[in-house]
Amino acid sequence: MRSDYSLGTASKATGKRGRSRRPIEIAMTPMIDVIFLLLVFFLATSSFQAIEYLLPSGVSKPAEPPTGAASPTQLEPNQDAIDQVVIKLAMEGETCKANLNGSELSFEALEDRLIRIANVKLTVPIVVDPAAKVPVQYAVKAYDYARAAGFARVFFATRAQ
């Protein structure tokens, strides 16, 4: 007994119906190679900036000078002693007062002090930390003083919420 389901006769008799359709296969390997090449290209051509870990900053109290020594406002900046400069701004009545690493000074004297520090060590980061009641113009002016003195790394302090 002969079967009507044999492949030899069915494909000739039915024409296109007897042909089996194979699923189209996409070659994934070349596509993955291209994706990795693009990834390497973009990594090689992009520029990365250093992550800023300076904010928020903790400020340590300066050491007390020995009895009979000059006050901290009269000391010259020392290159070894400067790791970062923190400028705290506070309002006293209508005037803005600056505290530079624990040293009280008037806001007008801040620019001169920053220029003196820049002459000693220009790579030190500057952190401007205005109090909540300080108008923005004083914080921006302190930032401008630091940039005018030549410091490239000037930051604003943030407070944790």
pLDDT tens digits, one per residue of 92-127? 988 899 998 888 988 889 999 999 988 888 888 999
Q: Spell out the residues 6+ positions from residue 114 whose beta carbon is closer than 8 angstroms to its own.
A: 85, 126, 145, 146, 149, 151
Per-residue burial over 58-91, b if 16 or more Cβ lie within 10 Å, else e, is eeeeeeeeeeeeeebeeeebeeeeeeebbbbbbe
How does pLDDT run across 27-54, given as a tens digit for each residue? 899 999 999 999 999 998 887 776 655 5
The pTM is what? 0.51
CATH class of 51-65+74-161: alpha beta
Sequence spans of domains, the chain:
51-65+74-161
